Chains A and B, each alone.
Chain A
Amino acid sequence: MKKILILIFMCFLSQNIFANENLDKKAREINKKIRCVVCQSQSIDDSDSVLARDLRALIKEKLKEGKNEKEITNYLVERYGEFILLKPKFNSKTYFLWLTPIMIIIFGVFFIKGIFKKN
C-alpha cells in the first residue's frame, strides 16, 4: 500500500514538473518575441532590466491563467503598441518596412543584369 502511495505521489510530482517545464518553455518562446521597450534592441528574454523582468513574470502568470500567446501579445500591444513586438505585423503602417528589402533586391537584380547586358 505504501509503495503504491509513493508511486502515485511520484507520478503526480513528475506531472507537475513536466507541466512547469512546458510552461517555462512556452513563456521563453513568447519572451523572445517581445521587445524590451527600455533597451530597444533586445528582447525581454535577453534583457535584465526591471521592466523586462516584470514582463517575463507577467507572461508566465498569464500562461498559468490559461491565456494563449495571441491573447498575451494582444494585451501587450494594446498597452505598448506594436513597437513591443520584435517582429511587427504586416499592415498599412509597416508595409514599407517589410517591402523595402524585397524592393531593394529586385532593383539590385535588374541593375546588375543591366550592367552585364551592357558589357
Chain B
Amino acid sequence: MKYISLIIITAFIFICLFFGLNKKDQNLKSPLLNKPIPEINLNSLKNDKLNKNNFKNEIILVNFFASWCVPCIVEHNFLFELKKQKPIKIYGINYKDDVKNLEIWLKKLGNPYSKIGIDKTGITGINWGVNGIPESFLIDQNGIIIHKVNGIIDKKQIKILLSKIELLEK
C-alpha cells in the first residue's frame, strides 16, 4: 500500500514537471493585458512624435520590429494581409535599429505602418515588457491592451486578431 502511494506521488510529480517544463513562453500572459498602454514618447520616422495622444478612439495594432530581425521579414507580408482583411492602423516601433537600414528595408518590403516610432535605446521595449521581437499589441479605442502576440503574426494570429477586432467594433 505504501509503495502504491509512493508510485502515485512520484507519478504526480513527474506529470507536473512534464507539463510545467513543456509549457512554452508564448503561454505566459503579459501582465499588461487589460491595462492602459505604458509610457510611449518616441520620435517617428517622419520627424513627428508617437505618443499616447496617437492612441485615441480607434483600434490600433502596435508592432515591435527591426530591420535586423529575420522573423520580422516573414511577419511583414502577414501585416499586409491583415490590413487587407481589416484596414486598421498599425504603428510600428522600430526596436534598436539603424534608421538608414530601416529605410532601405521598408523600401524593399513595403510599409504597412501608419506611423513608425524609433526606439533606439530599447527603453520603450522594456516599458512595454517586450522579450524579443517581433511582438505585437492590440489596443482598443480606450487605449487598453486587449491582446499580445509573442512572435510572428501568422495566419493563425490574423484569425485571432480579426475576431478580437470584431468584438471591439461591436
A interface list, Cβ under 8 A from B: 37-38, 40, 50-51, 54-55, 58, 77-81, 83, 100, 104, 107, 111, 114
Contact = CB atoms under 8 A, between A and B. Distances in A.
B85 to A, nearest CB: 31
Given A54-B122, A111-B6, A80 B13 contact: no
B22 interface: no
The B interface is mostly helix, strand or loop, or mixed, namely loop
Contacts of A79: 31-32, 38, 126-129
B2 A111 contact: yes
Given A38-B131, A78-B31, A81-B30, A58 B126 contact: yes
Given A81-B29, A83-B28, A100-B13, A51 B131 contact: yes
Interface string B4-35: 00100100010010000000010011111000
A38 B129 CA distance: 12
B110 interface: no
Nearest to B121: A54
Contacts of B38: 79
A40 B128 CA distance: 19
A77 B9 CA distance: 33
B123 A54 contact: yes
A55 B131 CA distance: 11
The A interface is mostly helix, strand or loop, or mixed, namely helix
A50 B130 CA distance: 12
B96 interface: yes
Interface string B33-47: 000001000000000
Interface string B104-143: 0000000000000000011101111101100000000000
B133 to A, nearest CB: 10
Nearest to B128: A79
A55 B126 contact: yes
B122 A80 contact: no
Given A51-B132, A54-B126, 11 more contacts: A37-B131, A51-B122, A58-B123, A78-B31, A79-B31, A79-B32, A79-B129, A80-B31, A81-B30, A111-B6, A114-B2
B167 to A, nearest CB: 24
B22 to A, nearest CB: 14
Nearest to B17: A100
A107 B9 contact: yes
A114 B1 CA distance: 12
List of 10 A-B pairs having minimum Cβ-Cβ separation, nearest first: A79-B129, A81-B31, A54-B122, A37-B131, A80-B129, A38-B132, A38-B131, A58-B126, A114-B2, A83-B28
